[in-house]
Amino acid sequence: MTIPWSSIRLLRITIHMWLVGYLLSSLPAAEWLWVYPVSPPLPGPPGPFRFLTHGFQTWLPPALALPSVFALVLLAVYPLIRRSRWWISFVIWSLFTSLMNHAWLAASGGHQLIANVLFWLIFVPHREDPLGFSLGWRSQLKQVAGSTAFWIIRLQLLLAYAVTGVQKLTGEYWLGGQAVGIVSTDPDYGPAFLSDMPQLSMVLTYATLLFQLLFPLAVWWRPTRWSWMALGVVFHLSTGVSFGILDMGLAFIACYPVWFTDTASKAWLSFAKRTQPV
């Protein structure tokens, strides 16, 4: 399996930009998120794996939570400017997952998605080996592990949409077309005008269902891939702003490059390089 290296590079950039943005934007609430969290202790996996995913509930004191946030910001920025190592990706994943589980009441599906992507990025090399499979079994093992992790990340994004869509089918309000209208009546969400437009609310309800259920199929074909991703950007930005969950919406958008073609990713990287200040 061939890895589109430009897509992986772009994915790392978007994931790490999301990570830096999320951590910095959460600093005003750092005290109740991480220092004195309102979230009760969360049961974790048994054995040594718990020390990696629940560090602040096992061996890391809460007093180090805030310094860990700043350390994580620096670690997340480093791969954006220089070639990184697998162990840096490992530390980034472990610290972020521990912080997320430390404040799990404030976590969302977007945070879980980012944590999963960060884990599998540990196994994806930071750059292409120009000699490919000619360096022996170790090089071959790295290539196989990287390709496998790359496809797991791809399928993880599709699974997130599929599970969300199927779960909505179990509720009567989504199937009945009233879900968006009901949500719009909540003053904390809105927009309130949709509650007076039942036809539009019904259209938006079914459009959301179709978008989420068909996304795992649409991205396999180039003609529908870009249109569905464009719909995804509009969907996640609009719901993120309306519902106050912008970090969740941006988390999904940050994962989109994993389905970009190598040519498209090179174009995006070239555009970003040209727009950088001299």
Q: Is the per-residue pLDDT at 131 higher than 60?
A: no
The answer to whether 228 and 222 have CB atoms below 8 angstroms apart is no
Q: Is the per-residue pLDDT at 200 higher than 90?
A: no
Per the prediction, the chain carries an average pLDDT of 88
User: What pLDDT was estimated at residue 114?
Assistant: 98
pLDDT tens, residue by residue, 65-88:
999 999 999 999 998 888 788 999
- DSSP conformation class of 194: G
Name the amino acid, one letter, at 254.
Answer: A
Q: Give residues with Cβ within 8 angstroms of 23, minimum separation 6.
A: 69, 72, 73, 76
Place 118 in a pLDDT band, splitting at 50, 70 and 90.
very high
Give the chain's length: 278
Place 139 in a pLDDT band, splitting at 50, 70 and 90.
confident
Would the pTM count as exceeding 0.85? yes
User: Which range among 21-25, 39-43, 210-214 shows the weakest confidence by mean pLDDT?
Assistant: 39-43
Place 107 in a pLDDT band, splitting at 50, 70 and 90.
very high
Give, for 66, the enclosing helix (H) or strand (E).
helix 65-81
Place 130 in a pLDDT band, splitting at 50, 70 and 90.
low
The tokens for 30 are 């750092």
Determine what percent of the chain is predicted with pLDDT higher than 90: 56
Q: Give residues with Cβ within 8 angstroms of 199, minimum separation 6.
A: none
The tokens for 109 are 């599906």
pLDDT tens, residue by residue, 221-256:
988 999 999 999 999 999 888 888 899 999 999 999
Q: How buried is 54 (Cβ within 10 angstroms: 0-12 exposed, 13-18 middle, 19+ buried)?
A: buried
User: Which range among 26-30, 127-131, 206-210 shows the weakest confidence by mean pLDDT?
Assistant: 127-131
